[in-house]
C-alpha cells in the first residue's frame, strides 16, 4: 500500500543493497518458510481443506510482506484479487468517501523490499489471524497486521489456498491499535444481507441490486477443461448489472416461498467501516465483505458456493 517512489542508485549502492537484503531479509524469510510456515499437503500434493491450512497460507502471506518478498506475497493471491479500501482523499486532496481498488501488481508496493515497514525479522510483525468459517472450496478470515486490518475471502484454487477478496482498513500509524469490534451496525448489516437474500426469493432484481455497491465483485470457483487438457479452476464472475438480472430470474426456476425459505445471517465481525458476514440461502451461501461509504453500508465483495444437496432446504 506504500506510494511508489522513483529511485536512481549508483551501481555500488545497488550491489550493497542486494547484499543487505539477502542477509537481513530474504534469508530470514527462507528460514521462516522452512521452519514455521511449511503447509501440510494431502496425498495428492494439494493443501488440505482445513482451518489450519487456511491460517498457514495467510501467515505465509503476512510474513512475506514483512520480509519484502513480493513474489511470495503475490503467490498467495489470485491474479484477479478484489482488494478494496474506503478512502476520503483523491489525488492528495480531501474528497467524499469512495472505494479504492488495488490490483495484484500493486502488492509490489505493499511488500516493497525497500519500504519503511519492512522488518529485519519478519517473525516480529503483528499477525493476528482468525478463520471465521470454512466451506468446500472457500473460507472467510481476518488478519491484523502492523499497518492494516485485512478481511479475506480465501479460495482453494488449483490445490492451494489463495486470497480472492480483501477488504482493508488502513491504520494511520504503524503498529497502532486497530479499530475495536462493534455491535453498533449489526442490525443494519443483518437487514442488508436479508434484503439481498429475500430479493432473490421475491424475484426483485432491483431489491437485490440496491444492497450492492456499483463496484461489486461476486464470484465463485468453477471447473473446466479444454480438449487434451486436464480440468482447471477459474473464477466465474457476476457483475453489478448482472446481479439485477439474476434477481429477476433465479426464483422463477426454484419457486421458493419468500415467507418461509431459509435466509440465515451470521455476522462474523464489524470493525470500523468493514463487516464480514455470511448469508446461507436454500441452496447456496454467500460470504460478504460490506463497507460503509458516506454513511451507507453496501455489499462490495461476494464469494459464493452452491451447497451440497444434502444441505438444501425448501426444495
Within 13 Å and on the Cβ side, how many CA atoms surround 171?
A: 18
Helix (H) or strand (E) holding 107: helix 107-110
Going through the chain in order, the beta strands assigned E by DSSP cover 77-90, 93-102, 128-134, 138-144, 148-157, 160-170, 212-224, 232-238, 264-271, 274-280, 284-293, 296-306
CA dihedral over 63, 68, 72, 78, signed as positive or negative:
positive
Query: What pLDDT score was predicted for residue 11?
Result: 35
Task: Please report, in tens digits, the pLDDT of each residue of the chain (315 residues total).
Answer: 333 333 333 333 333 333 333 333 443 344 444 334 567 888 788 999 999 999 999 999 999 999 999 999 999 999 999 999 999 999 999 999 999 999 999 999 999 999 888 999 999 999 999 999 999 999 999 999 999 999 999 999 999 999 999 999 999 999 999 999 999 999 999 999 999 999 999 999 999 999 999 999 999 999 998 888 788 899 999 999 999 999 999 999 999 999 999 999 999 999 999 999 999 999 999 999 999 999 999 999 999 999 999 999 988
Query: What pLDDT score was predicted for residue 38?
Result: 60
CA dihedral over 251, 257, 259, 260, signed as positive or negative:
negative
Domains of the chain with CATH codes: 11-170 (3.10.450.50), 186-311 (3.10.450.50)
- Give which of 148, 163, 153, 149 is closest to 73, Cα–Cα: 163
- Give which of 278, 281, 313, 314 is closest to 299, Cα–Cα: 278
Interhelix angle 186-201/240-254, rounded to 10 degrees, is: 60
- Quick one: cell of 84? 478494496
Going through 59-179 in order, the beta strands assigned E by DSSP cover 77-90, 93-102, 128-134, 138-144, 148-157, 160-170
Query: What pLDDT score was predicted for residue 116?
Result: 84
CA distances from 82 to 32, 140, 151, 154, 165 (A): 28, 14, 11, 11, 5
Amino acid at each position: 500500500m506504500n506510494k511508489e517512489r522513483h529511485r536512481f542508485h549508483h551501481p555500488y549502492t545497488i550491489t550493497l543493497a542486494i547484499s543487505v537484503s539477502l542477509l537481513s531479509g530474504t534469508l530470514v524469510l527462507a528460514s521462516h518458510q522452512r521452519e514455521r510456515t511449511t503447509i501440510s499437503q494431502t496425498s495428492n500434493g494439494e493443501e488440505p481443506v482445513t482451518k489450519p491450512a487456511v491460517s498457514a497460507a495467510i501467515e505465509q502471506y503476512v510474513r512475506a510482506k514483512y520480509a519484502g518478498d513480493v513474489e511470495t506475497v503475490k503467490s498467495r493471491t489470485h491474479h484477479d484479487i478484489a482488494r478494496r479500501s474506503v478512502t476520503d482523499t483523491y489525488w492528495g486532496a480531501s474528497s467524499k468517501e469512495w472505494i479504492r481498488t488495488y490490483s495484484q501488481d500493486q502488492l509490489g508496493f505493499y511488500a516493497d523490499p525497500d519500504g519503511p515497514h519492512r522488518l529485519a525479522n519478519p517473525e516480529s510483525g503483528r499477525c493476528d489471524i482468525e478463520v471465521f468459517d470454512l466451506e468446500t472450496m472457500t473460507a472467510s478470515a481476518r488478519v491484523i497486521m502492523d499497518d492494516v486490518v485485512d478481511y479475506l475471502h480465501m479460495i482453494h484454487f488449483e490445490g492451494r489456498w489463495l486470497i480472492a477478496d480483501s477488504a482493508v482498513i488502513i491504520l494511520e500509524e504503524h503498529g497502532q491499535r486497530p479499530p475495536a469490534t462493534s455491535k453498533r451496525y449489526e442490525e443494519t448489516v443483518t437487514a442488508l444481507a436479508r434484503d439481498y437474500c429475500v430479493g432473490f426469493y421475491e424475484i426483485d432484481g432491483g431489491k437485490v441490486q440496491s444492497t450492492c455497491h456499483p463496484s461489486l465483485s461476486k464470484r465463485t470457483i468453477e471447473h473446466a477443461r479444454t480438449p487434451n487438457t486436464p480440468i482447471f479452476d477459474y473464477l466465474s464472475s457476476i457483475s453489478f448489472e448482472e446481479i439485477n438480472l439474476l434477481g429477476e430470474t433465479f426464483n422463477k426456476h426454484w419457486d421458493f416461498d419468500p415467507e418461509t425459505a431459509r435466509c440465515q445471517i451470521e455476522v462474523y465481525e464489524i470493525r470500523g467501516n468493514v463487516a464480514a458476514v455470511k448469508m446461507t440461502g436454500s441452496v447456496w451461501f454467500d460470504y460478504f465483505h460490506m463497507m460503509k461509504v458516506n454513511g451507507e453500508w453496501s455489499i462490495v465483495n461476494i464469494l459464493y458456493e452452491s451447497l451440497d444437496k444434502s444441505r438444501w432446504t425448501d426444495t
